[in-house]
Amino acid sequence: MRHHLIVIIAVGTALLFSLGWACGASPLTTVLEFIPLEVEGAMVLFTDWANIKNYMGLGLLTSDSPLDQRIELVTSISRDQAAASAYGLSYARSHAEEWGWDTADLDWEANIVSRNLSPTYILKFRDGFDFTPVLERFVERGFTQTESYSAQLFSHELDVRVAWIRTTELSILTTAYLSSENMLILSSFGVDAYLATAAGELPSLAEDIFAMAALGHFTDPYSAILVFGLGECIRFTSNPLIDLLGTSPTSEKIAELREMIAEGQLLVPYRAFGIGYWYMADHPTGAIAFEYDTPELAETELPARCTLAKKGMSAQQEAPIEESYFTVLDCSVQGSAVIISVSPLNDQPWRLLRPILYRDAVFAGCSY
């Protein structure tokens, strides 16, 4: 078995060159290089575990560290950190024993959700991580081994009778190992489209000028959610926007905004949308970005987007956004984007991500 594992590890050594990734690319850029350009309604949920660990003073944390330190990392994301993507976090106490790794071994991770491809995880492991125990578990559990675009692929049919199926996410059923990149790509229904895209056989979302422009507003986030595609604002508009505004506190500004929306002048679809956070002076701060076709359109949209972020209502909390999720610090136009700087309520960054995850972001909707 050891001989086979050595072969497996060697197979992927040329992957960096075959995929043609640029040295020094940001994690989010790397993620976009895996996503097919033609994907429908792509949403990227991203967590930078290295940033979070370093901020917490746990920069050297690994799955070999004491359990109480690893649990401290896990519990932080519901307290003073946030994780849009958190692979296997509910199995944190046993995941390392069962699979040879856990969250503490990751530099960053992303979960990609879309309408026409199955949910997929990209996991970037820390430098020096030893994948041998991980690969041994695949072999011992009868995973089929194949090669796809120079990555080693491990696959297994769903079998609810085996005990290990209940110890992690179902996406483990198809796992690609990219040795040169210290990565695992996981999806229960296959990862070939993502590998083919990274290999250059399909155009990637990294070739979309609006997607890349949106990334420019989130250069080093601790966690972020980004949505790509014209018309994706509909996912945040379950009811007519005027009705949503009707639940907001009455004010002269809201009345003026209602009139402008009714005339179809504002809240047009954007090309990309994102929200993320980082730390400044020991306090979490965040940004909301809407990427438009032109700077002029962004300037036109600025008043409505800013007012909704300040005065809008949370349907989930039945309270104003400023009492549920965040307060607005500043609104501006940068290039072709509306940028809203925000501070999470009670210094809890998870409050920035929740309105997106629960589709409770009236400020991200559109009027038609």
Reading the chain (368 residues) residue by residue, the pLDDT tens digits are 444 443 333 333 333 333 444 345 899 999 999 999 999 999 999 999 999 999 999 999 999 999 999 999 999 998 899 999 999 999 999 999 999 999 999 999 999 999 999 999 999 999 999 999 999 999 999 999 999 998 999 999 999 999 999 999 999 999 999 999 999 999 999 999 999 999 999 999 999 999 999 999 998 999 999 999 988 898 887 544 444 444 444 566 556 556 655 554 568 999 999 999 999 989 999 999 999 999 999 999 999 999 999 999 998 888 999 999 999 999 999 999 999 999 999 999 999 999 999 999 999 998 75
- Encode pLDDT of 344-367 as tens digits: 999 999 999 999 999 999 999 987
At 266 the pLDDT is 65
DSSP state of 157: -
Q: Which two tokens stand for residue 355?
A: 């309105």
* DSSP annotation string for 77-91: TTTT---S--TTGGG
Q: How far apart are CA 124 and CA 108, in angstroms?
A: 5
- Count of other CB atoms within 10 angstroms of residue 204: 21
Q: How many CA atoms lie within 13 A of 344 on its CB side?
A: 25
Mean predicted lDDT score pLDDT of the chain = 88
Q: What is the bridge-based pairing of β-strands 337-344 and 223-228?
A: unpaired
- 254, 304 Cβ separation under 8 angstroms: no
Q: Which amino acid is located at 4 in the chain?
A: H
**Start-to-end C-alpha separation, the chain:** 59
Distances (CA, A) of 206 to 21, 147, 151, 189: 11, 25, 21, 23
Q: In sequence order, what are the residues at sequence separation of 6 or more whose Cβ sits closer than 8 angstroms to the Cβ of residue 216? A: none
Q: Which two tokens stand for residue 138?
A: 């695949």
- Encode pLDDT of 234-282 as tens digits: 888 754 444 444 444 456 655 655 665 555 456 899 999 999 999 998 9
Q: Which residue in 177, 155, 192, 172 sits closest to 34, CA to CA?
A: 192
Distances (CA, A) of 178 to 18, 184, 201, 280, 368: 11, 6, 17, 34, 43
At 237 the pLDDT is 79
Q: How far apart are CA 52 and CA 82, in angstroms?
A: 9
| Dihedral sign for Cα atoms in the order 314, 316, 319, 322 | negative
Q: What global pTM score does this model have?
A: 0.87
Distances (CA, A) of 36 to 194, 198, 218, 329, 334: 7, 9, 21, 35, 27
At 152 the pLDDT is 97
Q: Which residue in 354, 364, 19, 344 sits closest to 185, CA to CA?
A: 19
